[in-house]
Amino acid sequence: MAKRENSDEISGICINEVLTDDELRLILSKLPNDKDKEIFGLVCKRWLHLQSTERRKVCARAGPLMLRKMAARFTRLVELDLSQSLSRSFYPGVTDSDLAIVAAGFGCLQILSLRNCKGVTDAGMVALGNGLSCLQSLDVSYCRKLTDKGLTAIAECCGCLRSLHLVGCRFITDGLLMVLSKNCHKLEELGMEGCTSITDSGLTSLVDGCHRIKVLDVNKCSNIGDIGVTSVSKACSSLRTLKLLDCYKVGDDSIFSLAQCCKNLETLVIGGCRNISNESIKSLASAYCSSLKNLRMDWCLNLSDSSLSCVLSQCKNLEALDIGCCEEVSDAAFQALGSGGQDMPLKVLKISNCPKITVLGIGMLLESCKMLEYLDVRSCPRITKMGCEQVGLRFPECCKVNFSGSLSEPDVVSSSIEIQCRKSSVSYDDEKPRKIAGDNYYDQGSGRKKSKRAIKKKIDATYSNLSVSHAALLSNHLKRLKNSGAVIMVKHSYKLPENVKAGFQLSSMTKSAATTPPSSLTVPVKRG
């Protein structure tokens, strides 16, 4: 009887009368995942309020009214993502007035992403600088209206800034880098891809005050050369990632300096740096024999078997390698793979447009690379699907072999290589040309034909620095398309057959035949 009375007494107690706010917050912090924390807020209004005040991250597309409500509810918010989706590129997204509300309402904010918010101007940056003194990370990539004026306010007011991404902000100049050097001494990550006004002088000024930089992206900054890269390597010994895609002025001096000063480098992108030679790559391989994981050096036309052999034999932790369009590389480069007596952890290898590599070289590669997940052999005339089957090559269980370009392309310098495995032992791509939107070499609606001369003229007008073998490669690809039935010949011109879907574009293969230099972080494939 006493036990029953005691149980009735306990069952009548409300948990909200027993537990304090601090105790409930402790319970909330012990929940293992975000889904459980969301359910926590459904119990009652008190628990919802506690859950809201403890929330640290919000991702939303919101106007002024919603932003004010969010500021009142999420009082301890640390990370806010207001990025605009590419699929909604017609919509300006966040505006300067919205940023004024963010600056006034989220005083604890440390991480802010405004990627693709085309309506943001310098006025919004000034408001953020005045209101968010604790800001540590800012991403304003493709906010194309921004200039040095607005970002200078951020640099001057946010001394704790550690990460700044300015991809596609074309109006940024060396002046901003000087301000960052004076005020943001904790800066560790800086992305400036496509900021073509940045020069060697700006990089030199930057590293005078910012010695902690670990990640530097100056892809497509065509005014960057050996002087700037050498200054960075000498001042930032903790550098881990350096991206120099299409920096045509970069040469051997930069690579020698990196090999001497930056012993912890993990990712290096030098695609399109055509002045780099074998000797500098050999020194690089010797210096980073244990740390280097991702190396992209496609279109480095001076490289040959000797340098690649050093990379494969000495860089034991290499996971991703791109040597596309290095036409002097042959099977001999892979002979050193088995010399160490251990398997190599290589997961991604891209050797497109390497005419001297044969099935024999692929066989030597497979003997030492048991973890291979993606192999790109497009436009390698001596490596075909039939040839691999005839010699009995056995690829790793989850390996995707790309022969013609229909497979998705993994990023060779991504931090985590995500390649979805299939059940079959080897996944070959089909022979259908890849769809590339935006290139109108063929007018689908009107059914117009295009001659080879017209296609070549279009490619020549669109791209520069084409390979000397461009015309022959184009003829080869058009012939292959005709033989496969993907196009038909009508009075010496090419036309899509009527049974091909209207969405298919001939531009997929004509662009592949262009053999253009690399132009994006995703490794270029099948250019010839």
pLDDT tens readout for residues 157-171: 999 999 999 999 999
Q: In Å, how far are 48, 80, 298, 498, 507 from 165, measured between CA atoms?
A: 34, 15, 25, 47, 32
- Report how far apart the first and last C-alpha atoms of the chain are (Å, whole number): 89
The C-alpha atoms of residue 272 and residue 527 are separated, in whole angstroms, by 13
More confident residue, 419 or 380: 380
The C-alpha atoms of residue 352 and residue 455 are separated, in whole angstroms, by 22
Backbone angles phi, psi at 59, to 5 degrees: -120, 120
The C-alpha atoms of residue 261 and residue 276 are separated, in whole angstroms, by 18
What pLDDT is stored for residue 4 in this prediction? 52
Bridging pattern class, strands 488-490 and 493-495? antiparallel
What pLDDT is stored for residue 487 in this prediction? 75
The C-alpha atoms of residue 62 and residue 284 are separated, in whole angstroms, by 48
Residue 465 falls in which region: left (phi positive, over 0), alpha (psi -120 to 50) or beta: left
Q: Is the pLDDT of residue 507 over 50?
A: no
Residue in the structure block whose two tokens are 């160490």:
340
The mean of the pLDDT values for the chain is: 82
More confident residue, 498 or 422: 498
What pLDDT is stored for residue 517 in this prediction? 44
Query: Most confidently modeled of 1-5, 86-90, 117-121?
Result: 117-121
How many CA atoms lie within 13 Å of 97's alpha carbon, on the beta-carbon side?
A: 7
Strand partners for 165: 139, 191
pLDDT digits (tens, 9 = 90+) for 264-317: 999 999 999 999 999 999 999 999 888 999 999 999 999 999 999 999 999 999
The C-alpha atoms of residue 192 and residue 216 are separated, in whole angstroms, by 8
What pLDDT is stored for residue 436 in this prediction? 28
